[in-house]
Structure 1
Amino acid sequence: MRALHDGHGRSVRYLRLSVTDRCNLRCLYCRSNARQRCIPHAQVLRYEEMARMVGIAAALGIGKVRLTGGEPFARKGCEAFLAMLRGRFPDMDLRVTTNGTLLEPHIPLLQRIGMSAVNLSLDSFDRATFARVTGRDMLPSVLSALDGLLAAGIRVKINVVAMRGVNDGQMDDFVHAARSMPLDLRFIEFMPMGSGTLWSPENFWSADDIREEAARRARLIPVEAGAEAESGPARMYRIEGGLGRLGFISPLTNHFCLTCNRLRLTSEGALRTCLFADKEYRLRGLLRHPRITDEALAGVIRRACADKPVGADLLRARREGAAVAARQMVGIGG
């Protein structure tokens, strides 16, 4: 099959696959105050259907797959699914994003299958703030999992959603973590996602302001753009004398849409070509139809990619203070 390109000439090489919309936390930025109903089990893709989609994606030139949620390890059988994917796609760059609360027992499996990297969603090293953000007092479990990942030699990226009035007073902790541990700690601007979003100008903390705050505590040495493909949308900085790095992701103030290379597949089989666009391509019915071939599904994906929008255009068009997409992050996949 021909490699994927969208209507703007961008090459699509990355699939974010949501294993489940269920999660044991209730983070401020992922769910709003609106009532959230989980997808009925019968409407969630079976693991075999997800594996089929990964195979189609691989044939289209996608070489990187990240499993997301919800919380991936909240779904029964996730460990076996990871092993299945590695067995079928040994050359795939396979990763997982997790809140870390259920992770520790699965670390031996991740090490055994050669997991490329694990992204930990960790918005505070302060126990009270962690509980405020997530709704649960589970920071010790996450820190134990972090130690286990590093001991196993698995690459770790920590994702911090930066929020004024919430974790903006904890830069000392963040810089200390990146200085003392061999990991990437990346700040992400709070995005106005989902109906009933808690985003406001008052709690928005821009990437430039975050970087200035970090630079007061450490000498930051820029990593040249393109020097490491792993950086993705983050602007990365080494810390002089430190083991790790800091990164700054700015989807609102300095977008990276023109280099976007990703698709998202929700746990019920809806393909989204842009995080900020609510247009979805329903693939579950096609996956379950006995006469629909992989080639036909690939054709649907190609047509969807042809209409892949530029997210920054959608941001500019939204009303002041309004959400940029109706679905909450927990339903889309982080």
Structure 2
Amino acid sequence: MRVVVLGAGGAHKTEASIVRAVRELGHACRLVNVVGWSRGAGPLAPRAIRYLADAFEPDFVLLTRHAILAGERTIRSLLRGRGAAFWYFDLQPRPPALALVAERMYTTYLGQVERYRAAGVPHVQFLPQAVDPTRDFPVSAVDPAFRCDASFVGSGQYAHRHAVLRAVAAVSHLQVRGPGWAGVPDDLPVAGGPVHGRRLRQVISAAAISLGANSHPEQDAERASASNRMWKVLGCGGFYLGPYVQDIEWLAVGGRHCAWYRSAADAADQTRHYLAQHDERRRIADAGRAHSLRHHTYARRLELLLAGRAYEPAGASDQPVIAELEHPDPGQPLDRP
């Protein structure tokens, strides 16, 4: 199969992980950087994007949210007579235009499936994000400045997550990094700006606990949904403490692959507990990485997407961690059957 991905360019973008996974499955794949062409070519961008995609003669076109920059007319022309799907990673109450154009949509939020179907998208399926073994792996050498009890990496403009961060900061040495933290209250321990790639791996490896925190209240009421932050932490061998939502253990089991909190106070209590339990914390982190590499890589996800199938959560996290995966080597792609 020949696959074109229309989306954003950049080594740390999800599109790069998708392309690697498609190629790992044995398919030819081309990424067309819609964002880059839209910025650089102005009104000529749609023509250039269509040429690059058509010239590859794809059997299947995978769209991410950035593909809309090419314009609906260009997208409709590219999809004519080809298999296609739109994979959406964000929470939004209304279906993006690309979902209606592609007519097949994958969402990382299980609770949104029926809403998008009711809004007129013909085919909507659940497909979470995943680990990219090429980029998400533990490192032993870290910047000493990154060492801390707990770390959070994410955007700062969402006040909903501040309560959890304050609670954890009150019981531990917390470091917060990411964009959008300028001007936030002084009791939030902001340690730096955005981190990607090697620096992100160091931040995760240097922290005893890597924290997750939802950005919107609506996420607290979702089902089986987790930020891509969780997959990066698990892949990098970190201990992940994140917000519990209904059916989240279809992805990873608390106390076995990671830990889930149900309130800001619970997050603080669990932070205290796991900081005092080094061996338990390490065992869970190792099992979480093994589990994610076995069941939750982009190769696994793309195998489903290209076959027109959804992620079937029931029982997905019930399988035991097999012996040879207990201590996987950094960067080793253990997602094959």
Classify the TM-score, shorter chain: 0.3 to 0.5
TM-score, with structure 1 as normaliser? 0.35
| Structure with higher RCO (Cα < 8 A, 6+ apart) | 1
TM-score, with structure 2 as normaliser? 0.35
Q: Based on CA coordinates, which of the two structures has the bigger radius of gyration?
A: 2
